[in-house]
Amino acid sequence: MVADHPLSVETLAVKGTSPHYDEGSAVQPIYQTSTFLFQGEVGYENVRYTRCNNGPNHMALSAHIAALENTEAAMVASSGMAAISTALLAFLQAGDHLLMQNTCYGGTYDFVTKNLPAWKISHSLIDASQPNTWKAALKPSTKIIYVESLCNPSSDVPDLQAVVSFAKANSLMSFIDNTFASPVLCRPADLGFDIVLESATKYMGGHSDLIAGSYAGSKRNVQKVSI
């Protein structure tokens, strides 16, 4: 567990973490601006610019998601696939290899099996319910193990604790797509996962009226994906 929030996940989901906004509005106003005035910020990452996900709406939503995921930090993206592809690209480079659960969501499966090879990033598919078979797929260049807490569409559930232990034992980063479970059913960071991904288009949004994604983890890891 990284952060400690006294509120239950149900209360957090409804109230969020920053209930007080400008002029006392109950709901945060939407800031329709690309650019913010310079207010003496130091460092590029502190200069507020909407593409950098650091406007007031982004910051409030990110804090809300970090509270739900029980992580130090989180960031939003324009879709689940934007979050997943950006996070993978932030931690992988040419020559690297990853292990991916063989029943992952089709968009992720295609990205890993069809797009990443163009950047010389290779993969092996693993049966996430058979931890004793993972070692055979490991290579010296393996950097990440990637699973879904509840697969789309098969609803396979990996041995999550075994994934985290395997990652730690082999110096891998553990990535998990938590879309179908949502933080209400599963908080993978509490189990030790490094990066928690969501297609917020689904249960996080909850009303089929938005497309969004998120990634959550330590401040250091989230910053690495964001900058």
Residue 156 binds ligand PLP, judged by CB under 6 A: no
Using rule CB under 6 A, residue 85 touches ligand PLP: no
Cα separation of 182 and 58, whole Å? Answer: 20
Stretch in the footprint of ligand PLP (CB under 6 A) among 42-50, 74-82, 123-131, 157-165: 74-82
Find out whether 120 and 113 touch, Cβ atoms under 8 Å. no
- Minimal CA–CA distance to 63: which of 219, 189, 190, 201? 219
Please, what is the angle between helix 219-226 and helix 80-91, to 10°?
100
3-state helix, strand, coil in the chain (%, to 5): 40, 15, 45
Assign 7 to helix, strand or coil: coil
Contacts of residue 40, defined as CB under 8 A and 6 or more positions apart, other chains included, come to none
- Least separation, in Å, of the C-beta of 11 and ligand PLP? 26
Cβ at position 40, least distance to ligand PLP in Å: 36
Q: Under DSSP, is residue 82 helix (H, G, I), strand (E, B) or coil?
A: helix
Establish if 152 lies at the interface with ligand PLP (CB under 6 A): yes
Whose Cβ is closer to ligand PLP: residue 7's or residue 185's? 185
The residue number whose beta carbon is nearest to ligand PLP equals 80
* 105 touching ligand PLP, by CB under 6 A: yes
Tokens 């910051």 belong to 59
* Tokens encoding 38: 């310079």
C-beta of 212: minimal distance to ligand PLP in Å? 7
Binding-site size for ligand PLP (CB under 6 A) equals: 14
Binding map of ligand PLP across residues 165-204, x = CB under 6 A, - = no contact: ------------x-xx------------------x-x---
Can residue 103 be called a binding residue for ligand PLP (CB under 6 A)?
no
Q: Which residues of the chain form contacts with ligand PLP (CB under 6 A)?
A: 79-81, 105, 107, 148, 152, 177, 179-180, 199, 201, 211, 213
